[in-house]
């Protein structure tokens, strides 16, 4: 899932703060993505909140409404694309989307909130 991939990437990018934790350890996080009362469910909720907030900050309002509020499937796809953009750009790849994302989405300061949530969970 995108959450597990994000956690694996976080572990690989932060070896000092993770204290030698294996990237495969993310598979043992308890819970279900749809149950907010579990650690995995809470991470899923935080991910949606962070990515929605980033999109709200960088996209024109009509485009944000169209991509993140009109269709739940499209919203989920664009949330996951924001994450993919961040991970792929760290690997010197340039993902493309239509409509194109504004520059700096992968470096948005709100990603630090997601990183804190990942570190706290792991």
pLDDT value of position 64:
97
pTM for the whole structure: 0.92
Instruction: Say what the pLDDT of residue 93 is.
Output: 96
Q: What angle do CA 69, 72, 76 make, to 5 degrees?
A: 100
- 14, with CB counted inside 10 A (0-12, 13-18, 19+), is middle
Q: Which residues contact 3 (CB under 8 A, 6 or more apart)?
A: 33, 40, 43, 44, 47
User: pLDDT at residue 24 above 90?
Assistant: no
- pLDDT tier at 2, thresholds 50, 70, 90: very high
Angle at 30 between CA 13 and CA 55, to 5 degrees: 55
**pLDDT on residue 106:** 95
The string of pLDDT tens digits covering residues 40-64 is 999 999 999 999 999 999 999 999 9
DSSP secondary structure letter of residue 20? T
Q: Which pLDDT score is estimated for 52?
A: 97
């Amino acid at each position: 899932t995108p959450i597990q991939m994000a956690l694996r990437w976080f572990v690989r990018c932060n070896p000092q703060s993770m204290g030698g934790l294996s990237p495969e350890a993310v598979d043992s996080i308890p819970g279900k993505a749809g149950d907010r009362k579990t650690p995995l469910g809470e991470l899923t909720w935080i991910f949606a909140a962070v990515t929605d907030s980033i999109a709200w900050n960088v996209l024109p309002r009509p485009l944000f409404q169209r991509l993140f509020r009109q269709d739940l499937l499209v919203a989920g796809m664009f949330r996951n694309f924001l994450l993919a953009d961040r991970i792929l750009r760290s690997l010197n790849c340039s993902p493309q989307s239509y409509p194109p994302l504004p520059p700096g989405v992968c470096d948005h300061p709100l990603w630090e909130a997601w990183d804190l949530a990942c570190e706290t969970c792991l």
